Amino acid sequence: MTAIQAKPAPAWEETTATAVLVLSDGTVLEGRGIGATGQAVGEVCFNTAMTGYEEILTDPSYAGQIITFTFPHIGNVGTNEEDIETVNMAAASGVRGCILQADITNPSNFRATRHLDQWLKARGIIGLAGLDTRALTARIREKGMPNAVIAHAPDGQFHMAALKQEAAAWPGIDGMDLVPDVTTAQRYGWDEATWHLGQGYGGAGEAKHHVVAIDYGVKRNILRLLTAAGCKVTVVPATASAGEILALQPDGVFLSNGPGDPAETGKYAVPVIQTLLERKVPTFGICLGHQMMALAVGAKTLKMHQGHHGANHPVKDFTTDKVEIVSMNHGFAVNRETLPANATETHVSLFDGSNCGIALTDRPAFSVQHHPEASPGPQDSHYLFLRFVKMMEAAKAG
């Protein structure tokens, strides 16, 4: 008697959805596909900003991540060529995908040059609309940032088993160095200053200081604010040696933002920073640069449960005794319990009490976890660039 054999399940499943988000635990969330077609794997986070979606989607610090926008109306002002934050145009911005609650509307802004959907297609970013982003955000807050695959197929056919396997197998950002994906390949000079309505971006004026910026995934507006503060800016790759940097005779060194696990990037970045600190070169770090400086003085970093991603984060600066509204984008943080005696905590998050800044007591160096160039306040934190300039002036005088 022949045993009855079950028919194998079809490899491809057809749905009414044209995009899916497949979480590492096997959960499948359906929606409408936007942007590029195909599939990408990454870590799902949420961003609470109500504006600046183009800057967010081109921020190299989001490499390896799928962004869930909590604000429902994304795309309503279109896109333009002035608000892009990626400097290294030869490389992808790094973001793996985006998730929206509402469909993208036609742009209604005089600066718009392209519809967001067309812009996403051109940049190869996969999107999903029509998802309950409030529910997904609540899930992330409860369970942490999941690994997932985002896929867009206009015909609604998805190989679900393969997508689930890929999501479950992806190791995640913890332990991953993503800086090589976004850093520059060669040294270059920067001379673009800040933007003004009707005038565009200004040019460099008379430079009083030479700043070498180490590019771990630097944002354009950081370089613009350094230029506007009277600095000649030279950008070098993340792998530049201390000797190469010192040969440029910098008055100061800037440690940029960037993606990935700081402990992994620190394997080659920390020795360079330690040499610069030993030479007492004035140093200023932002985001990943803050974490690099902390690692360089012996502190540790840790993976956060849900991270900080948004433009409404209150941070207290103990040096001014003021509270600033800042922009943040990080999934790792400096563990304050591991800070050495020569590292003073200068900033703290008023959301969860995590460390957001340090200053060294025996070296001309400081750093912050948030993004002072992103202007959510709108200019609450711009003084940090002037603080860096004064530090360089003091070093020259002393």
Architecture of domain 179-397: 3-Layer(aba) Sandwich (3.40)
Q: For 333-359, what is each residue's pLDDT tens digit? A: 999 999 999 999 999 999 999 999 999
Over range 282-301, report the average pLDDT: 98
Catalytic annotation present for 370 = no
Specify whether the CB–CB gap between 48 and 67 falls below 8 A.
Answer: no
Count the Cβ atoms, other than its own, within 10 Å of residue 163. Answer: 22
Which residues are paired to 45 by β-bridges? 67
- Inter-axis angle of helices 383-397 and 220-228, to 10 degrees? 50
CA distances from 9 to 159, 167, 168, 319 (A): 11, 20, 20, 63
Instruction: For domain 14-169, give its CATH number from 1.10.3720.10, 3.20.20.70, 3.30.360.10, 3.50.30.20.
Output: 3.50.30.20
Catalytic annotation present for 30 = no
Backbone region of residue 43 per phi and psi (left: phi > 0; alpha: psi in -120 to 50; beta: other values): beta
Closest CA to 67 of 145, 156, 166: 145
What kind and span of H or E run contains 397?
A: helix 383-397
Q: Where are the domains of the chain?
A: 14-169, 179-397
Q: Which residue has the tokens 């956060």?
A: 304
Q: For 184-223, what is each residue's pLDDT tens digit? A: 999 999 999 988 888 888 888 889 999 999 999 999 999 9
Residue among 98, 231, 287, 356 flagged as catalytic: 287
Q: For 90-108, what is each residue's pLDDT tens digit? A: 445 589 999 999 999 999 9
Catalytic annotation present for 152 = no
> Kindly report the CA angle at 52 between 88 and 384, in degrees rounded to 5?
75
Q: Which residue has the tokens 């961003």?
A: 47
Residue among 54, 55, 166, 373 flagged as catalytic: 373
